[in-house]
Amino acid sequence: MDSIRRLTAITSRNYSSTDQDDTSLQGGDSGKAVLYGRNKRSTGQIREITFSKEQACCIVGIVLMVMLMIALVAAFARPTVFCEDGYGNVTEKILLKNTASSGLFKAGNKDFPWQEICLPPFVKPLHYSIFIHPNLTTFCNEGTVNITLEVLQATNFVVIHKKDLNITVQDLFTISGKQVKIVQSLENAEHEQLYLEFETTMKPSVEYILHIQFKRLLHETLEGFYVSSYTPSGGQKRYLATTQFEPTAARSAFPCFDEPDMKATFSLQIVHEQDYDVYFNSDLNISLPYENGLILSVFNPTVRMSTYLVAFLVCDFSTIQGKTKSGTDVKVIVPKGQMSQSVFAMESCVKILEYYERFFNISYPLTKLDMAAIPDFSAGAMENWGLVTYRMSAILHDPKESSSDSQELVAIVIAHELAHQWFGNLVTMKWWNDLWLNEGFATYVEFIGADFLKPEWQVKEQFIFSVTQHALQMDSLKSSHPITSDVKDPAEISANFDAISYKKGGALIQMLESFLGIYTLQEGLTLYLNKYKYGNAETKDLWDCLTEVINDGLQTNISSIMDTWTIQEGFPVILVSRVGNMVYVNQQRFLLAPSKSDAVSEEDISPYGYEWNIPITYITDRDTEVQRFMLNTTTGTFSVKENIKWLKLNVNQTGFFRVTYEEHEWKHLLRFLHQNHEKLFCGDRASLLDDAFSLARNGMLNSSVPLDMTSYLQREKSYVPWGTALLHFNDLDFLLYETSVYSLFQHYVRKLLHPLVSYLGWKDEGSHMTQKLRSLALVEAIYFGDKKVTAQGKKLFDSWMKNGTWIPPNLRSPVYFAGITQGGTEEWQYLWNCYQKSTTPSEKELILSALGVTTKTRQLMTYLKYSLDSSKVRAQDTATIISNAAKHPAFQYLTWRFLYSNWDKIFERIGSGSFGIGKVILDVTSHLTSQFDYDQVKSFFESKDVGSGKQAVQQSQEQIQANIYWKQKVQASVVKWVENNV
């Protein structure tokens, strides 16, 4: 053990305590590999061994000698093997052993010397030298980390993060090699912190190296450093090791300062088997023979970055390569046998990366960008700098087997993750309360990138349906949170990865673009990225940059406008009235349902009194050019032309608010929709539907208005308005399920869909948007019981099942759905067998979704049970199955019973910090409609650990209360309308 404590091989350079130009960290003049080690017989003196490429080329013998020396140093650095058994047979015990210098023991939060959740700000990491050996036979990962750090003030202690790591050795040295004795080590498991106290005081003028040895078993979880697997066609099961560190899981892979503003550089040495490749954020420097036939791969230092962006991957995948015009190497890494499905991703990456360099006017900072398809992955993708990891369905596309809709998904996810290379990676939020600076911008920019890649797809047109409307729905709850919300512990941080940070954030940037203009916005973003590159920023920093580039003569202050949107939760509804040519507007907060009590709690208090500075846009029948008005008080007025018939506020729903009008104004808009709907922008038609249904949902508008409006849909042939309408129809389908008019309501929706499905037919033809609309319309017609459509779909399913007749990818969704809803055990089992055999990720996801639409209780129970069986489905799909099962009102209680009966298994399988926990809670419970349901849900989750799902529990309970309110106050008017009009 002494040799391990005294000798660690690391790849490094000379790290000074002063800031440097980070471009020097990109590999640079890397003709050298510099190895720092401590001789076990010395007093800790640092020795440096260097060799140049020129010498290697001239004198082969010297090269061999140097390589042998490096191999010997690495061999001494190898930690002792701790694991005794193979994966699945070892019970990992986090045993904190005593070291020669100190006793390490656990301490409760009360006894822990450092009481803050955040680490001491006066200790800064400069560089991490990581050595790991992830053994894919025993599944034990063991290694060391040398953290070069500095202190900004004199201190005799350091606090770092660790989680579930067995730490066996810890030492502190000055950069000159002098050991600093550790006198006390304490662990706070609740805060995931390790406290180290020293005999002497650390000084600001000295750099130190903190040396820690650790080990941990790798599990088949979906976070931290974990194991995944795949089986090549006709081959044996193969394992791989990969990472998912965002937001706070790097600390479970190696001890570190795991906060976004504690940026440092990282170098990695990793031991692996010969038939495996390894990938890291930076380029590979050299691979060397190691003992027992293993390989030691050494990587170049990275640029300065946050710990959550560190990634390493050990696998035996195949690769496809490309290169941008500026010289960035692009590589797609996929499981063997799926190379043909990676071509679209590689080509898309190259084109979008080149476009972003022009759009941001900043070059991509690294020399390479790897994109890896991971068989088990919780999220859609993760933007690790230089090594982006993806769920397989989010990166692989098979032109013969994947629909155009799934191809669009691949393009959008890639565009999102590449946007992060600037927003999030180059410039990172200081703390997780500003997560939206990462995710909101990437959500906004993904549509720009995908639109550049495929302008014929009309991706930008879908923004309000895919982003804005979903965010408005979530933000209409009192249990929502400000976009810059105060988060502290890891569970709160994980819960912040929701529709507010992503979609409301993206919608606010869209609103900014609408009143600043795209060129001013671009100029401000470029200034922001250049000013804070390789560093951290806050929301105010962005507003200051945008304010700086505005040249409107009005001295506009962006912060004064946008703080009202980011510091308080919720959004306004604008009440519009008109007298002659004068328009009067009034704002108030919009809520899905009125509060049960008039009492105001501290959580209800807003620094702006729920008043917003609102950039209003509007058009009229006499002026279709967009006009603008800024409402920065509760009420306001503006004038329009004389004798207009109608006016429409919030053009194309670019503003994050709702609008309601007086009854006669709604009638004018309804009349225009019915007479000549195509003269309104597609987004305006969708926003009228969305606002009217949402206002009727909470009783602010008579239900007859949105329901009367829907009759125009019989002439509508655009995807976005139909998508909006069907979202609200599905909501009503749950709410009306137990009423006397349920079958009449379904008949009405079928009637509206009939002209559209007749027009689109069953031929796989037309534009991308036509193909998307056809699939949507046919699936919804089947769901709402159209016998003719269902019969045609079942006929195609039977022909495929019995005769092998090929089904075009864009028609598979309605065909599979028809086959399962109308079929029995034979059809369900056949499709299940297809799921098991398929090697196309998008096809597997589609089949898994279709299996959940069965109308047979026994089959649905089998489906749900499979979600907990690792031999049947991957852990990443557990949440998907449970959510799918809850999509029909007939099975919502069955799914809820399954959830609470199996919560502990579900929670363990999905993961406490996974984004899927909140989704499952919301999807299963948010459609329940009785006080009994509310009480049961509330009581159940009060006694359960929900991890990152805490926010979702509150939101689901409020959704149930809103459903109860609707049934008490609104349902009667909807029932009456259906009875009178269908």
Say whether 417 is catalytic.
yes
Return the number of other C-beta atoms located less than 10 Å from residue 268's C-beta.
26
Contact 879, 911 (CB under 8 A): no
**Cα–Cα distance measured from residue 516 to residue 512, given in angstroms and rounded to the nearest whole number:** 6
**Cα–Cα distance measured from residue 513 to residue 521, given in angstroms and rounded to the nearest whole number:** 6
Which DSSP letter does residue 571 get?
A: -
Catalytic residue, candidates 142, 223, 417, 523: 417
**Cα–Cα distance measured from residue 153 to residue 156, given in angstroms and rounded to the nearest whole number:** 10
**Cα–Cα distance measured from residue 2 to residue 707, given in angstroms and rounded to the nearest whole number:** 78
Which DSSP letter does residue 588 get?
A: E
What does the block give as tokens for 648? 């429409």
Distances (CA, A) of 693 to 673, 675, 702, 725: 16, 21, 9, 9
- Secondary structure E strands in 92-251: 104-106, 123-134, 140-151, 155-161, 166-174, 179-180, 182-188, 193-202, 208-217, 224-230, 238-244
Query: Quick one: how far is CA 431 from the chain centroid?
Result: 17
Those residues whose C-beta lies under 8 Å from the C-beta of residue 541, and which sit 6 or more positions away, are 528, 531, 532
Q: Strand order in 224-230's β-sheet? A: 224-230, 238-244, 312-315, 277-280
Contact 499, 437 (CB under 8 A): no
Distances (CA, A) of 437 to 499, 521, 540, 572: 14, 14, 11, 22
**Cα–Cα distance measured from residue 978 to residue 982, given in angstroms and rounded to the nearest whole number:** 5
Tokens 């609408």 belong to residue: 514
Q: Which residues pair with 315 in a beta bridge?
A: 277
What does the block give as tokens for 37? 């080690």
Question: Could you write out the three-class secondary structure of 802-865?
Answer: HHCCCCCHHHHHHHHHHHHHHCCHHHHHHHHHHHHHCCCHHHHHHHHHHHCCCCCHHHHHHHHH
Q: Which residues pair with 37 in a beta bridge?
A: 47
**Cα–Cα distance measured from residue 470 to residue 183, given in angstroms and rounded to the nearest whole number:** 54
Peptide bond into 490 cis (omega under 30): no
Of 942, 820, 836, the residue nearest 887 (C-alpha): 820
Burial 688-718 (b: 16+ CB within 10 A, else e): bbbbbbbbbbbbbbbbbbbbbbbebbeebbb
**Cα–Cα distance measured from residue 280 to residue 947, given in angstroms and rounded to the nearest whole number:** 29
Torsion of CA 687, 690, 692, 693, to 10 degrees: 170
Give the phi and the psi of residue 422 in degrees, each rounded to 5: -100, -55
**Cα–Cα distance measured from residue 460 to residue 449, given in angstroms and rounded to the nearest whole number:** 10
SS3 state of residue 280: strand
- Secondary structure E strands in 667-820: none
Write the DSSP assignment of 167-198 as a string of letters: EEEEEEEETTS-EE-EEEEEEETTTTEEEEEE
Contact 715, 722 (CB under 8 A): no
Write the DSSP assignment of 503-528 as a string of letters: IIHHHHHHHHHHHH-HHHHHHHHHHH
Distances (CA, A) of 451 to 329, 347, 510: 23, 15, 15
> Hey, which residues are catalytic here?
417
